[in-house]
Amino acid sequence: MLAFYPLDFSPICTDQLSLYQEVLGELERRGAALVGISVDSAFAHAAFRRELNLTMSLLADFNPKGEVSRAYGAWIDAVDHGNRSLVLIDEDGIVAWSYAAPTPLEIPGANLIFDALEA
């Protein structure tokens, strides 16, 4: 599961990744891996992971800025950063499911991830 989010250390992103960390063990027990993606650098990601005690991988969509987010339809040109989006990639590397929050102010709940895994 790819979890796109706007920026490390912003209040809503902190809440979002903390929530996902809380359910990470259950996701892994169901055979899923969760990877966070934002436009921050690898250095910012390392500090963010330490600060929040995150164990999931965080990928830096840093240069060229937003290229991966754009490729998965998780980019908002008007604000120049990624949206809060979830993308489930199946075992064959195919997008099996995706969700884009209507606004970057809305956190996609963990229930969406579990529902997508069950579908």
Q: For the domain made up of 2-118, give the CATH fold.
A: Glutaredoxin (3.40.30)
Question: How is the chain split into domains, by residue range?
Answer: 2-118
At residue 66, the pLDDT reads 96
Average pLDDT, rounded, for the chain: 96
Q: Show the CA angle centred on residue 105, arms to residues 100 and 109, nearest 5°.
A: 55
At residue 35, the pLDDT reads 98
The catalytic site residues sit at: 13
At residue 16, the pLDDT reads 97
State the pLDDT confidence band at 67, using cuts at 50, 70 and 90.
very high
pLDDT digits (tens, 9 = 90+) for 7-62: 999 999 999 999 999 999 999 999 999 999 999 999 999 999 999 999 999 999 99
CA dist 118 to 21, 31, 33, 56, 98, Å? 19, 11, 14, 21, 14
pLDDT over 90 for what percent of the chain? 99
